[in-house]
Structure 1
Amino acid sequence: MPEHDVQNLTRCLAENAEAVCRRYLSAGRRHGNYWLVGDVRNTPGRSLYVRLHGPSEGRGAAGRWTDGATGEYGDLLDLIRESCGLLDFRDVAEEARAFLSLPHAEPRPEARTKPATARGPAAHTEAARRLWSMTRPLAGTLAAAYLRHRGLKELGGLTSLRFHPTCYYRADDDGPTETWPALIAAVTNLDGNLTGVHRTWLAADGRGKAPVDIPRRAMGDLLGHAVRFGVASDVLAAGEGIETVLSLRQVLPDLPLAACLSSAHLAAMAFPPLLRRLYVVRDADPAGDHALETLAGRARDAGIELTALSPRTADFNDDLRHLGRGALRAILRPQLVPQDVARFLEATHA
């Protein structure tokens, strides 16, 4: 498709940005000049935001979107591609034309081969490394106080978590820059190389998140990577949120853990080469169910045994905080493979 046709489609979609969002991101809602939803696959939530009004191109353009949890971003053509699960750009263009009631384009050999989402994470990896270099160890900081307030009291050895006292925050490209203390988590690949960071902005007293619209955001190259606690060999437990997987660490301190930061990234996680058994720390929601289903197929193809770990409440951090460590142990015991009960649960309780 000629570039001028792509630009025309992008412009027409941007002029109807709210209608596009209501059609393809129906689980979201409008909030001021933005449409908020969980992710580009229409999961309920507030991580992804689409600008509804602005110039036709450049800084602050209408139709531009960013997923604060993953660092992905793009335009409305990218949004249609991802939400509809389309692979060929000609199909994306036809879907957009159908939505706009425009005439069909004649087939052309040219195609838009590099989506806008592919540019964002790689471009931010170096910035993520610079931010990580400016952090300090967790002990004795507001970040440690925040984790303890979430029931996470066993914090020794958490080298993948650090603290930044004045981390920049900006709600959108045109908003003012603020500074808040932040819990910074290192996102690494299977070789242990840092590819991104995850930021949780904190209240000034450390007893909760900062009072900002999107208190959690990731940046850098995230796909396939994770925030890791321990070195995985034959057994690994992986989930979405940092606090969720750290809750397991309170009663299973020797079990290697990985927080993939979103359901989509959990489904796409890279398997360690020696992995033989994967515990999926699932959240009790539709996105978590979809991630579990996708991982089950991938694990089966790779010859990896997969077992789901299900919380009694909304997630394992809620179980820990509201039911206590003893109850969490009792919830996990029947879900673990017997040899892992002896290896990870009973050995640490002795």
Structure 2
Amino acid sequence: MLSASELADRLARDAEAVCRHYLSAGRRAGNYWIVGDVANSKGRSLYVYLFGPRAGRWTDAATGQYGDLLDLVRETCGLVDFRDVADEARHFLSLPQSEPATSRGGGAPDYPPVEKPAAERARRLFAMTQPLAGTLADAYLRERGILQASTHAALGFHPSCYYRDLGSSRTTSYPALIAAVTDPAGQITGVHRTWLDPGGEGKAKVEDPRRALGGLLGNAVRLRFPINGPVPIMAAGEGLETMLSLSHVMPGLPMAAALTANHLAAFSPPAGCLRLYIAGDADAAGRHGIERLSSRAQALGILPLVLAPELGDFNEDLRWLGPERLIGSLQAQLVPEDAMAHLPM
């Protein structure tokens, strides 16, 4: 059984390999690994000792953060529980998983396995993301016909996001598209993660490459929402890529992705909303979410209008039929003044 101190020492024996894996945006400079920060940004403020008695120790001169390689694993993967940190380190070192780890002094663990609120973990993870432009996540969305995703403040990229296989409990990490879920006041309550194949071949080859974390009920990934401003006309739907596809052809219209049919049914339109366009999906769960949200909107005095794709969803319309065909389809479904205001003519 390895203690936390022993795990950190094992990582420090091959500090450069650890850095190349978790801080791939950096580079070796003499006896140090240099990178921008623990989110793996390009830059020079964080340095890791690679050799000698301080091997594995690191400091970020810009933020004042410091620690050993276990701390680095925790920060780069966005982990909170020590058990998860230890499992990730063991996975990297090819050691057996889920050994109970003791503290560096032999007593209680340094990072007690106390589950912090999911919303706090979600905020922490989103704070570690990089801007989307030019990243693997940006390329993934471009392959799906969504060319302006990097203009959305709700989206970010994590180059090495922690992933646990729920069947085997095996842990690893993949690049990921991270979307912030926010409440009506704009506070982050959760995140949606889409793990990506490191070679650029779409989503990661795992059983469930999409997962949400945190408080989704009544909240959503908000696209183009004004800060503290009125939202008289908006669109809401289930899938993130569905709403990004609609935003691609209607960039001026505020939109919300509720992420599941049940959460779409519970979405809370903003005060002052007059018309709510609801993006349809072809499945039964999607229809159920649309019906419930339509009923709730009517009870609030909001006019609900359902937008129907020609294929399975609006991302399929965008990819396979093209933006001009999608614009034409939407023009026939929108209220004329909304079509004039939000569709390219």
Shorter-chain TM-score: what band? 0.5 to 0.7
Choose from 281, 288, 300 the match for 2:298: 300
Partner of 1:286: 284
**Counterpart secondary structure, 2:152:** coil
**Is the Cα–Cα contact under 8 Å of residues 145 and 207 in structure 1 kept in the other structure?**
no
CA drift of 1:147 comes to 0.3
Q: In the alignment, what sits opposite 2:197? A: 203
- Structure of greater Rg: 2
**3-state SS of paired residue (2:245):** helix
Structure 1, residues 84-129: CA drift from partner, whole Å, max 9, x if none?
xxxxxxxxxxxxxxxxxxxxxxxxxxxxxxxxxxxxx993111111
Q: CA deviation at 1:284?
A: 1.0
What secondary structure does 2:217 align onto? coil
Cα-to-partner distance string for 1:170-200 (whole Å, 9 max, x where unaligned): 1127521111000000000011100000000
- The corresponding residue for 1:239 is 237
Shift of 1:274: 1.3
The SS at the match of 2:259 is coil
State the partner residue of 1:254: 252
Distance, in Å, in 1 between the alignment partners of 2:306 and 2:203 is: 29
1:105 aligns to what? Answer: none
Taking the TM superposition and a 5 Å limit, the aligned residue runs for 1:90-101 are: none
In structure 1, distance between residues paired with 2:306 and 2:232: 16
AA aligned opposite 2:145: G
Matching residue within 146, 153, 164 for 1:159: 153
Partners in 2 of 1:320 and 1:174 — Cα distance?
37
Q: Name the SS of the counterpart of 2:276 in structure 1.
A: strand
Identical aligned residues as a percent: 52
Aligned to 1:277: 275
Match of 1:132 in 2: 126
Task: Note the alpha carbon deviations across 1:40-59, whole angstroms, 9 max, x for none.
Answer: xxxxxxxxxxxxxxxxxxx9
3-state SS of 2:200 partner: coil
Deviates more, 1:137-146 or 1:284-293: 284-293
Question: How does 1:1-350 map onto structure 2 within 5 Å?
Answer: 123-172=117-166, 174-231=168-225, 233-345=231-343, 349-350=344-345
Counterpart residue identity of residue 265, structure 2: A
Spell out, residue by residue over 1:258-302, the C-alpha distance to the aligned partner (whole angstroms, 9 max, x if none). Answer: 000000000000110111100000101111111111112111110
Distance 1:316 1:269 in 2: 20
SS of the residue aligned with 1:136? coil
Amino acid of the residue matched to residue 290 of structure 2? Answer: L
* Residue correspondences, number: 228
Task: Indicate the RMSD between aligned Cα atoms, in angstroms.
Answer: 1.7
The corresponding residue for 2:19 is none
Cα distance, 1:161 vs structure 2: 0.3
Provide the rounded CA distance (Å) in 2 between the counterparts of 1:247 and 1:168: 27
TM-score, normalised relative to structure 2: 0.64
Q: Distance in 2 between matches of 1:219 and 1:128?
A: 6
SS in 2 for 1:250: helix
Secondary structure, in 3 states, of the residue corresponding to 1:209? Answer: coil
Secondary structure of residue in 1 paired with 2:118: helix
> Residues 304 and 122 (structure 1 numbering): CA distance in 2 closer, same or farther, change over 3 Å?
farther
Amino acid at match of 1:314: G
